[in-house]
Structure 1
């Protein structure tokens, strides 16, 4: 692998895990009380549960699209957002966190095992590099919303 590509992949991995300029997903949900997951303070449109679920669904979709030509994306926007404002139980929350982590790890493995510059054969010009930036950008946006909700609820660390 070319040295510049190695450097780029290293930086992408950092970015996907939270980068250096903002909070990563794991820190955003760390020590989050289960009772707060369904709160929508100050008329905000989404709860932390809905945001985390949306991150899970969208990240999974981008991962699967990147590696599977027969993958069918969920219907936008209905199937990318849960209707429920809170998980039905703590196991559902734990499973969602695990899925986000596992799918991110799988995507990072894909960065290491593929030509990040080549067009994805079943796409319309997308590359693994583009999908990496899209996952990082999308997740960062919604992670920031989680932090704002935690701040509004008075349950953020700073």
Structure 2
């Protein structure tokens, strides 16, 4: 197995591949971040909070598997459907990006044992790919909401 190539590909996909997640989030209009479309139970703000909570739990596991074995806690869905200010929206995106870069640094670090199975049966590579999958799913929802609201 070419472990360097695997690390490189996981990192590229975590960044969002051809549609980087951070750019998408920064393009999303703050003024529309709290809109809940008919038939949905979430806004862009709620999705961002949910994405961040899941990413944070998995990042904690990646940083210290022995003390953060609960990699899939109950889903966090923020109760408030919109940020109070543009500053709060921007700060949440900044924090998402900072944590995402930390995930990527862990994956890229050749000293990280990507495939070592931890006591909870999971590995660092599993956590990274779970972030990738989970975020991709919800970024797709966010993109759809944005299209419906005329963001793109």
TM-score, normalization by structure 1:
0.86
Aligned residue in 1 for 2:67: 70
Select 2:121's aligned residue among 105, 122, 125. 125
Out of 90, 104, 108, the residue aligned to residue 108 of structure 1 is 104
Aligned mates of 2:27, 2:130 — CA distance in 1: 27
| Bigger mean CA deviation after superposition, 108-117 or 44-53 | 108-117
The answer for the alignment partner of 2:130 in structure 1 is 134
Rounded Cα–Cα distance in structure 2 between residues aligned with 1:70 and 1:154? 44
Q: 8 Å contact 2:33–2:43 — kept in the other structure?
A: yes
C-alpha distance in 2, partners of 1:31/1:13? 22
- Greater shift, 127-136 or 85-94, is seen at 85-94
8 A contact 1:24–1:143 mirrored in 2: no
1:62-104 deviations in Å (ceiling 9; x for gaps): 0002222334858513xx1100000111221121111111111
Query: Could you report, residue by residue, the CA deviation over 1:119-150 in whole angstroms, capped at 9, with x for unpaired residues?
Result: 23xx4111111111100000000000000001
User: Size of the alignment, in residue pairs?
Assistant: 148
- Mind listing any 5+ residue stretches in structure 1 that lack a counterpart? none
- 1:44 is paired with a residue whose SS is coil
Alignment-derived partner of residue 11 in structure 1: 9
Closer, same or farther: CA 71–129 of 1 in aligned 2, 3 Å: closer
Given candidates 40, 45, 56, the residue that maps to 2:52 is 56
The CA RMSD measured in Å over matched residues stands at: 1.8
Q: Runs of 5+ in structure 2 lacking a partner?
A: none
Q: 1:12 to 1:72 in 2, by over 3 A?
A: closer
Query: How far, CA to CA, are the matches of 1:31 and 1:107 in structure 2?
Result: 22
Q: TM-score, structure 2 length as denominator?
A: 0.89
Q: Is the 8 A contact 1:37 1:47 kept in 2?
A: yes
Q: Is the 8 A contact 1:24 1:140 kept in 2?
A: no
Q: What residue number does 1:29 align with?
A: 25
Q: Which runs of 4+ in 1 moved over 4 A?
A: 72-75
Which residue of structure 2 lines up, in the alignment, with residue 85 of structure 1?
A: 81
